[in-house]
Amino acid sequence: MLQLKNIIKKYKINDFTQTALNQVSMDFRENEFVAILGQSGSGKTTLLNIIGGLDRYDSGDLIINGKSTQQFKDSDWDAYRNNSVGFIFQSYNLISHLSVLDNVEIGMTLSGVSKTEKKKKALAALERVGLTLHRNKKPSQLSGGQMQRVAIARALANNPDIILADEPTGALDSETSEQIMQLIQEIAKDKLVIMVTHNAEIAEKYADRIVKLSDGKLISDSNPATEAELNSNYTLKRTSMSFFTALKLSWKNIGTKRWRTGLTAFASSIGIIGVTLVLSLSNGFNIQIGNVESSTLSGYPLTVSAGVSAQNFRRNSSTMLNGGTTTTTTDATAIYPYDYTKDSVTHTNTLTQEYLDYIDAIDPTLLLGVNYNQSVNMNLLSIQNKLPVSLDASAINFSVFPKELDSSSSKYIETNYDLLAGSSPTQMSDLVLVLDEENKIDKSIIATLGLDGDAASLTYESLIGYTFKAIPNDLYYTKQGHTFTINGTNDELTAIYNNEAAITLKIVGVIRPNADAQSPAVTAGIAYSNALSDYFLADSQKSAIVAAQQSVEYNILTGAPFSSTSASVATGLAAMRVLQQGNTNTKASALASLGASGIPQSISLYPTDFTAKQAVITYLDNWNTNLSDENKIVYSDLSATFTDSIGSVLDAVTLVLIAFASISLFVSLIMIGIITYISVLERTKEIGILRSLGARKKDITRVFNAETFIIGTASGLLGVGLAYLLTFPINIILFKLTDLKNVALINPVHAALLFGFSIVLAMLGGLLPARMAAQKDPVAALRSE
């Protein structure tokens, strides 16, 4: 059944090597009582530990029921100890915080035996050793002989094939020793019992076979067994400790040091209390901000803009169509061409006369006023491949900055944007390249400028200094009979480009919205000054082509008559491209393309109060009823943006306070790690006992993870509970100071998350000590006190 083949075991201590076993070979029968004798240092205990799988041989082979163990993994040895071996130790090695019954059951628990069967077998084992009446006692309540009987019952309970006894009577008086030896002799009738002892008299009296060792060598064997026939069908049942079992073990251990555990949980809860209170105040102040919006910010405008870009739509619209998220990269140092048509949520408002009539029909009592912002047209040319080509203004997202852009201080840029490279614009003809928060820009803009839109990245310097020209209408268009045409030949465009009337525009800087910019005026593209806008609006209105268009009822560029009905078309700068392609059929759209449109670029509506504002929002939303997402008109709410700004400040303050409160969380993490490490030191012998019974390394880890889980749970409950109680005096104090009621309000979601975080934090703190516990040598752990 059990064979040792040329077993060699050496221990190396610094430069000294001690040979504990030297070429030891012997076979054992299935049913016999073998006593191993020898002086201290002869290798008796080492041999017993190797047979029991607690220690590993260096060479040779241990054969179990014909199966070699040379290829055994840790899990195989764990299963072997649990299935095939029962240990009886000189010092009993009982787990002190478990009852007698629990100590006997623990090996079967690792085997996955059901609760009913486990208890039945444990009681039968206790009855066999005469301790049934003591099953609910703790080991400390028993005598030495009784504790050794419990150890024997534990060894028998899982019905192993082999019983290993290491000096089982070494700590007992002679009378008790005789009783224990008689019990072990009885067990040997149907099992293999291998006992290590110094007492030759006991060995001669009770053992069937006496084996003597000296200096790690087998020197005599009173009744050697013949070599058994090999059997390769030996299988092992894997051990497994459930997390519930680990919780039970840890709970009973914690019960022996309630005060220390309670103080640890309370200390850990301080950080949770701090974070919970900060979040409760943030939650309450956000509610107060909402009340402020309702009562004092209702006069801020609702804005409807034509041609809403992907970025504006994601950040500013109150009506979101299909959602959209973005991340911010503040440390980027390059420009990233980006295909918004594929990777972003985009939407364009198409403002029509019908919609303007709808706005005009709103109840005048709801509004203090309405502001219509008109669009402006520019004819753009750039040199690409040494030839002048037309630039589509909408393709490069050509848009205007607020008037602050014209000031020498560039206040708007300094307040809302980070200047990444170059300089701020100071002249009418100065332009800036605007990137989004991730330093990205639509690749089509880069390609339209004649650069490589497919490049992975571009330097700032490749765009700074880029020039193109804005052409007045009278220079750009030529009258031919009853229509006008664009001067489109290379020679014509070259002459126009070189004409003194053409305005040279130059990119002088690269900017990006800063973290404080809640609603940037322009999105990624190229931006120009308000002065340039005023200049071309005035020039367009007095141009010959606009005067001619206003006097006729056909398209002055194509000669095609206008439709009698109003059609929904693109407006503003986008309308120019559509008109030049001959696809427009209204006079308004034709004038829009020439800078004299009756269709505004944006509309701002100023409600009289918050109730009126809600009515206006409802009115605007009614327009979108039954419309597809593509045809809806979305709007932005400036007051909501303002309160979002305040909310962002509050969020920033909240994060700072949470960061300070989190210091105590970090301290508690370290503290829990230290407490768990102390627990590992205190329970080292328990670790050795569990390993001797077949517990895996991961089971040991699970035991200590369960302990930190209990501490984390207690900490979370204490933290959230005490924080809730503290909100009452906090609210009383704040009311007296500010007249604000119920500012501290705990959000149940926050409470649940923090409770879970407390558990996770505690388990993280105990993770390293738990792993250290699992790596302990079971033989060394059993020797610890």
Burial class (CB in 10 A: 0-12, 13-18, 19+), 360: exposed
Average of per-residue pLDDT across 559-583: 48
Looking at residue 560, its pLDDT comes to 85
Looking at residue 511, its pLDDT comes to 92
Average of per-residue pLDDT across 355-368: 82
| The one-letter amino acid at 386 | K
pLDDT-above-90 percentage for the chain = 23
Give the model's confidence band at 367: pLDDT under 50 very low, under 70 low, under 90 confident, else very high. Answer: confident
Q: Are the beta carbons of 573 and 374 closer than 8 angstroms?
A: no
Residue 224 Cα distances to 185, 211, 227, 505, 573, angstroms: 19, 9, 9, 106, 104
More confident call, 571 vs 708 = 708
Looking at residue 598, its pLDDT comes to 53
Sign of CA dihedral 734, 735, 739, 741: positive
Q: Are the beta carbons of 234 and 58 closer than 8 angstroms?
A: no
More confident call, 664 vs 409 = 664
The set of residues, in sequence order, having a beta carbon less than 8 Å from that of 364 and lying 6+ positions away, is none
295 has pLDDT over 60: no
Within a 10 A sphere around the Cβ of 33, how many other Cβ atoms? 24
Looking at residue 237, its pLDDT comes to 67
More confident call, 8 vs 115 = 8
Give the model's confidence band at 400: pLDDT under 50 very low, under 70 low, under 90 confident, else very high. Answer: confident
Burial readout 323-359 (b: 16 or more C-beta within 10 A, e: otherwise):
ebeeeeeeebeebbbbebeeebbbbbbbbbeebeeeb
Within a 10 A sphere around the Cβ of 199, how many other Cβ atoms? 16
CA-closest candidate to residue 707, choices 144, 172, 251: 251
3-state secondary structure of 487: coil
Looking at residue 421, its pLDDT comes to 93
Looking at residue 411, its pLDDT comes to 54
Task: Quote the CA–CA distance of 199 and 38 in Å, as a whole number.
Answer: 9
73 has pLDDT over 70: yes
Based on C-alpha coordinates, what's the Rg of the chain? 43
582 has pLDDT over 60: no
166 has pLDDT over 80: yes
| Domains of the chain, start order | 2-239 (3.40.50.300), 255-294+645-783 (no CATH), 300-608 (no CATH)
Give the model's confidence band at 577: pLDDT under 50 very low, under 70 low, under 90 confident, else very high. Answer: very low
Q: Which helix (H) or strand (E) holds 336?
A: strand 336-338
Average pLDDT, the chain: 81
Q: Give the CA diameter of the chain.
A: 135
3-state secondary structure of 262: helix
Task: Quote the CA–CA distance of 83 and 6 in Å, as a whole number.
Answer: 25
Average of per-residue pLDDT across 672-695: 88
Average of per-residue pLDDT across 466-494: 89
412-465 tens-digit pLDDT = 567 668 899 999 888 999 999 999 888 999 999 999 998 888 888 899 999 999
624 has pLDDT over 80: yes
488-522 tens-digit pLDDT = 788 888 999 999 999 999 999 999 988 765 445 56
Instruction: Kindly report whether the global pTM for this prediction surpasses the value 0.95.
Output: no
Looking at residue 516, its pLDDT comes to 61
